[in-house]
């Protein structure tokens, strides 16, 4: 017969599975700390909680009569003391239901008269109208041939006698250097203080305080031996402390040897006080509190079983979560907390007694000669069910995620006016097919927009390098924001730019409208921006010839956009960082329309400074020394064109076609003259009108025909 067993954890798969797929389950919030005092009342002093019916301050509603305490802050809040009385005889250490723990510094001071008698009141804090009595304390006496008695009213509640018959000094009675807990005849003695002398029950917890009187401590010399010698040799000391405290304090061994009193800090003696409420006060106000009336009189409140807190306050008793201490409450199975109680049962799949350790076991099933544990069956079934449910959940989750993603894409596509773009490019089937690019395509092209694919970025977005499925290397601009009201203009611009095919204009492949902010896809230009090539560390950057050629190529592209395209396009943001360069330094104008999304309140003082220096003839202060060395006499002409291009009035600025021709004239004066003459003849102007003018220099000739050229071109091309 084979016995097959598996881990008990296997049978937990099914409950765990149900837990994984449950909806809305949440852990119960921990109960807040129960209130301990009345609202708007001080409830602590010196780190000690002051629960109602005790209280502090002048407001009588904060405590019941007789339960007012004093907070001594004379030494500062950090060293505040909670006192039972204004005299400061007893300092309160802690307060609980019917029990108060305090401490008294030093012994009970008693002076003997001529006849060898003396007495003292133990504490003014235990006044006759107070609710307190000594509880579980003891009387401790040191000295030779003296007797101490504690009385409450006319009743003695404790008494003991200390003798020194055969010893010159009490230290002679020490055995092995340690005082045997004082039994008398050793220079010290002790006796339990009876709590309830009427019923002689030293363990009674309460005692009637309707006729409470203070405690008196009496000391008497027994008249044996020489009184003055006894008192001088070992002055008597009387203490009242909690039971057993003296037996654990080694300093009292030293006190017996030296007959000297230890320091004040060491002599802080703790005592227990029992308290009850007397009078016709309304107590136990909470729904979960109960009133106790002890035999000796008075009353006190307790929270019902299963609750904790302050029973003297409304809703002061809160439910105890027994399951947090399940084993302490005798539950070794599954504990479920309930209001005022809890339930304990064996986990699912087990049987037995949950009240004992290991009491819950897994049953077995007999199959022929084999006994299979139920845990095996549950484990196999749960494991298979778990796999199926996980697969099912994954399929459902993936499907829901896909549907949500598609729905969000459609939302953004409509929000970004995708239908409008489809209508605008529908006349060109080849463009329409490629113009609208899906988000999935761009995610594949950029490896989910991997940070390693970033080409650069700024305040308006990030540019990524990607490879489309048709193997085109592209630059994908992912803006950070777009103005919703300008979406229609954006779509129009995309449709127009998609039809531009110019050598010096960056090709726009298309756009993606399936994201919150549309993304643009351009051809990838590998050699960076003109700005990057101009601002380098080193003595030389781009040569003057390359700079002039790039300026001409830029002017050509803008002239084309202004005049040759189907609908004129104004770039509005030409700058060196928006002019890209390919591997052969051919200029490519980029970022069309970006200026509409750039705040117009930003201003660059370089232009005004340039114009001022030009007028003063001080351009050398602003120009690159390399330009001054390489440009020769052409720099003056270039500067003249630049100043004309930044005039405030549009009619005073040259067209881009005029700029193009003038720059070409600076680059190749002779070829430029022939090109202009050909253009004039094409427009009906006699070539001889140019040749009869002063031909002393190419520069002069260029200036002679500039006025005629401007008249012709201004009529054909807008600014």
DSSP classification of residue 502: -
Answer yes or no: is 246 within a domain.
yes
- Report the distance separating Cα 156 and Cα 215, nearest Å: 10
446-504 per-position pLDDT tens digit: 999 999 998 877 666 788 999 998 888 999 988 777 666 667 767 766 776 777 888 99
Q: Which of 57-61, 170-174, 199-203, 708-712 has the lowest mean pLDDT?
A: 199-203
Question: Is the domain of 362 the same as that of 292?
Answer: no
576-585 per-position pLDDT tens digit: 888 999 999 9
Q: Compute, in degrees rounded to 10, the torsion defined by CA atoms 68, 73, 78, 82.
A: -30
Of the two residues 106 and 182, the one the predictor is more confident about is 106
- Report the distance separating Cα 155 and Cα 481, nearest Å: 92
pLDDT for 719 equals 46
Which of 96, 118, 148 is the C-terminal boundary of a domain?
96
| Residue 190 structure tokens | 């002790």
Answer yes or no: is 696 within a domain.
yes
Adjacent-strand bridge partners of 25: none
The full DSSP string for 25-79 is --PPPPPPPPP-S-TTS--EETTEE--TT-B-SS-GGGS-TT-B-EEE-TT-GGG
DSSP classification of residue 178: B
pLDDT for 121 equals 84
Active site residues: 573
Q: Please say if the pLDDT value at position 182 is more than 70.
A: no
Question: Is the domain of 584 the same as that of 682?
Answer: yes
| Residue 496 structure tokens | 């127009």
pLDDT for 94 equals 95
3-state secondary structure 310-355: CCCCCCCEEECCHHHHCCCCCCCCEEEEECCEEEEECCCCCEECCC
Question: Is the domain of 350 the same as that of 445?
Answer: no
pLDDT bracket for residue 435 (50, 70, 90): confident
DSSP classification of residue 563: I
What average pLDDT does the chain have? 75
pLDDT bracket for residue 701 (50, 70, 90): very low
**Hey, how many other C-beta atoms are within 10 angstroms of the C-beta on 583?**
8
Q: Compute, in degrees rounded to 10, the torsion defined by CA atoms 331, 337, 339, 341.
A: 0
Most confidently modeled range among 134-143, 176-185, 252-261, 710-719: 134-143
- Which residues are CB-neighbours of 622 under 8 A, at least 6 positions away? 609, 610, 613
Answer yes or no: is 11 within a domain.
no
pLDDT bracket for residue 247 (50, 70, 90): confident
Which of 363, 380, 397 is the C-terminal boundary of a domain?
380
Q: Are 673 and 681 in contact (CB under 8 A)?
A: no
- From residue 251, alpha-carbon distances to 193, 258, 262, 265, 530 in Å are 23, 11, 7, 12, 91
Q: Please say if the pLDDT value at position 178 is more than 80.
A: no
Which CATH number belongs to the domain containing residue 593 in this structure?
1.10.510.10
Adjacent-strand bridge partners of 482: none
Q: Please say if the pLDDT value at position 119 is more than 80.
A: yes
pLDDT for 183 equals 58
Tell which residue, 606, 644, 641, has the closest CA to residue 622. Answer: 606
- Report the distance separating Cα 634 and Cα 699, nearest Å: 9
Question: Is the domain of 249 the same as that of 299?
Answer: no
Question: Is the domain of 703 the same as that of 586?
Answer: yes
Of the two residues 458 and 547, the one the predictor is more confident about is 547
| Omega of the bond leading into 346 within 30 degrees of 0 (cis) | no
pLDDT for 185 equals 54
**In angstroms, how far is CA 63 from the centroid of its own chain?**
41
Q: Please say if the pLDDT value at position 617 is more than 60.
A: yes
292-322 per-position pLDDT tens digit: 887 767 888 999 998 989 999 988 899 999 8
* Burial readout 359-393 (b: 16 or more C-beta within 10 A, e: otherwise): ebebebeeeeeeebbbbbbbbeebeeebeeeeeee
Query: 92 is in which domain, residue-wise?
Result: 33-96
Answer yes or no: is 309 within a domain.
yes
- Report the distance separating Cα 255 and Cα 369, nearest Å: 80
Average pLDDT over every residue of 142-163? 88
pTM of the model as a whole: 0.46
pLDDT for 198 equals 47
- 241 exposed, middle or buried (CB, 10 Å; 0-12, 13-18, 19+)? buried
Of the two residues 67 and 199, the one the predictor is more confident about is 67
- Report the distance separating Cα 42 and Cα 52, nearest Å: 10
- Report the distance separating Cα 643 and Cα 665, nearest Å: 17
Question: Is the domain of 142 the same as that of 265?
Answer: yes
Question: Is the domain of 130 the same as that of 174?
Answer: yes
Question: Is the domain of 289 the same as that of 364?
Answer: no
Average pLDDT over every residue of 266-273? 83
Answer yes or no: is 387 within a domain.
no
Place of tokens 């993606």: 512
- Residue 344 — left, alpha, or beta (φ > 0 → left; ψ -120 to 50 → alpha)? beta
- Report the distance separating Cα 508 and Cα 522, nearest Å: 4
pLDDT for 598 equals 33
Q: How far apart are the first and last CA of the chain?
A: 103
Which of 523, 557, 581 is the C-terminal boundary of a domain?
523
pLDDT bracket for residue 143 (50, 70, 90): confident
Q: Please say if the pLDDT value at position 659 is more than 60.
A: yes
Average pLDDT over every residue of 255-260? 58
Answer yes or no: is 18 within a domain.
no
For 21, list phi and psi in degrees, rounded to 5: -105, 10
| Residue 13 structure tokens | 């798969």
Average pLDDT over every residue of 74-97? 87
Question: Is the domain of 223 the same as that of 371?
Answer: no
Question: Is the domain of 591 the same as that of 605?
Answer: yes
Of the two residues 597 and 587, the one the predictor is more confident about is 587
Tell which residue, 417, 478, 413, has the closest CA to residue 445. Answer: 478
Q: Please say if the pLDDT value at position 19 is more than 60.
A: no
pLDDT for 82 equals 94
- 196 exposed, middle or buried (CB, 10 Å; 0-12, 13-18, 19+)? buried
pLDDT bracket for residue 173 (50, 70, 90): very low
Place of tokens 């309830």: 196
- Could you tell me whether strands 364-367 and 360-361 are parallel, antiparallel, or unpaired per DSSP bridges? unpaired
Q: Are 442 and 509 in contact (CB under 8 A)?
A: no
Question: Is the domain of 235 the same as that of 347?
Answer: no
Q: Please say if the pLDDT value at position 166 is more than 70.
A: no
pLDDT for 687 equals 41
Tell which residue, 506, 499, 551, 501, has the closest CA to residue 530. Answer: 551
The domain tally of the chain equals 6
Q: Please say if the pLDDT value at position 89 is more than 70.
A: yes
Question: Is the domain of 356 the same as that of 258?
Answer: no
Answer yes or no: is 23 within a domain.
no
Place of tokens 């110019």: 502
Q: Please say if the pLDDT value at position 667 is more than 90.
A: no
Q: Are 193 and 150 in contact (CB under 8 A)?
A: yes
pLDDT bracket for residue 283 (50, 70, 90): confident
Answer yes or no: is 392 within a domain.
no
Adjacent-strand bridge partners of 464: 454, 476
**Residue length, the chain?**
719
């Amino acid at each position: 017969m084979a016995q097959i067993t598996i881990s008990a954890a296997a049978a937990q798969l099914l409950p765990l599975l149900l837990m994984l797929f449950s909806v809305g389950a949440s852990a119960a919030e921990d109960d807040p700390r129960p209130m301990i005092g009345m609202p708007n009342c001080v409830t602590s002093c010196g780190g000690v909680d002051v629960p109602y019916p005790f209280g502090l301050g002048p407001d009588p509603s904060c405590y019941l009569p007789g339960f007012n305490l004093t907070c001594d802050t004379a030494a500062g809040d950090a060293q505040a003391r909670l006192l039972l009385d204004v005299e400061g005889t007893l300092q309160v250490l802690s307060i609980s239901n019917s029990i108060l723990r305090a401490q008294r510094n030093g012994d009970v001071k008693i002076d003997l008269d001529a006849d060898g008698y003396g007495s003292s009141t133990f504490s003014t804090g235990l006044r006759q109208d107070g609710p307190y009595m000594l509880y579980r304390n003891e009387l401790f006496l040191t000295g030779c041939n003296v007797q101490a008695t504690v009385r409450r009213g006319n009743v003695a509640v404790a008494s003991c006698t200390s003798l020194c018959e055969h010893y010159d000094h009490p230290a002679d009675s020490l055995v092995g250097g340690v005082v045997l807990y004082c039994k008398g005849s050793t220079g010290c003695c002790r006796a339990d203080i009876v709590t309830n002398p009427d019923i002689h029950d030293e363990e009674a917890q309460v005692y009637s305080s309707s006729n409470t009187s203070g405690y008196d401590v009496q000391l008497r010399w027994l008249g044996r031996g020489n009184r003055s010698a006894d008192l001088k040799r070992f002055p008597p000391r009387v203490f009242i402390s909690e039971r057993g405290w003296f037996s654990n304090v080694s300093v009292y061994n030293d006190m017996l040897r030296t007959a000297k009193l230890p320091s004040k800090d060491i002599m802080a003696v703790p005592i227990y006080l029992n308290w009850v409420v007397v009078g016709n006060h309304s107590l136990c106000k909470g729904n979960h509190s109960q009133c106790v009336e002890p035999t000796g009189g008075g009353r006190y409140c307790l929270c019902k079983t299963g609750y904790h807190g302050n029973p003297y306050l409304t809703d002061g008793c809160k439910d105890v979560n027994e399951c947090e201490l399940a084993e302490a409450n005798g539950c070794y199975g599954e504990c479920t907390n309930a209001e005022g109680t809890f339930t304990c049962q064996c986990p699912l799949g087990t049987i037995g007694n949950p009240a004992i350790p290991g009491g819950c076991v897994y049953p077995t099933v007999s199959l022929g000669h084999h006994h299979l544990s139920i845990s095996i069956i549950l484990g196999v079934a749960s494991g298979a069910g778990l796999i199926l449910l996980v697969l099912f959940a994954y399929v459902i989750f993936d499907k829901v995620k896909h549907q949500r993603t598609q729905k969000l894409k459609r939302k953004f596509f409509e929000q970004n006016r995708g239908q409008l773009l489809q209508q605008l490019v529908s006349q060109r089937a080849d463009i329409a097919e490629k113009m609208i690019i899906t988000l999935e395509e761009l995610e594949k092209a950029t490896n989910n927009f991997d940070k390693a694919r970033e080409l650069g970025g700024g305040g308006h977005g990030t540019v990524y390098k990607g490879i489309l499925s048709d193997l085109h290397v592209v630059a994908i601009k992912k803006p950070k924001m777009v103005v919703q009201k300008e979406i229609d203009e954006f779509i129009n611009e995309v449709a127009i730019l998609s039809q531009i095919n110019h050598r010096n204009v960056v090709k726009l492949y298309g756009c993606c409208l399936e994201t919150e902010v549309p993304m643009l896809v351009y051809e990838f230009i590998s050699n960076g921006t003109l700005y990057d090539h101009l601002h380098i560390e080193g003595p030389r950057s781009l040569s003057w010839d390359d700079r002039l050629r790039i300026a001409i190529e830029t002017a050509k592209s803008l002239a084309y956009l202004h005049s040759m395209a189907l609908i004129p396009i104004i770039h509005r943001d030409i700058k060196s960082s928006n002019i890209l360069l390919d591997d052969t330094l051919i200029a490519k104008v980029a970022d069309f329309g970006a200026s509409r999304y750039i705040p117009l309140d930003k201003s660059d003082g370089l232009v005004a400074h340039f114009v001022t220096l030009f007028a003063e003839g001080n351009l050398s202060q602003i120009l690159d020394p390399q330009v001054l060395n390489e440009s020769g006499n052409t720099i003056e002409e270039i500067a003249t064109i630049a100043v004309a291009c930044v005039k405030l009035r549009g009619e005073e600025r040259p067209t881009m076609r005029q700029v193009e021709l003038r720059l070409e004239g600076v680059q190749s004066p002779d070829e430029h003259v022939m090109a202009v003459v050909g253009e004039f003849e094409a427009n009906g102007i006699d070539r001889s009108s140019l040749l009869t003018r002063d031909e002393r220099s190419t520069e002069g000739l260029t200036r002679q025909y500039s006025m005629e050229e401007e008249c012709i071109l201004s009529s054909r091309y807008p600014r």
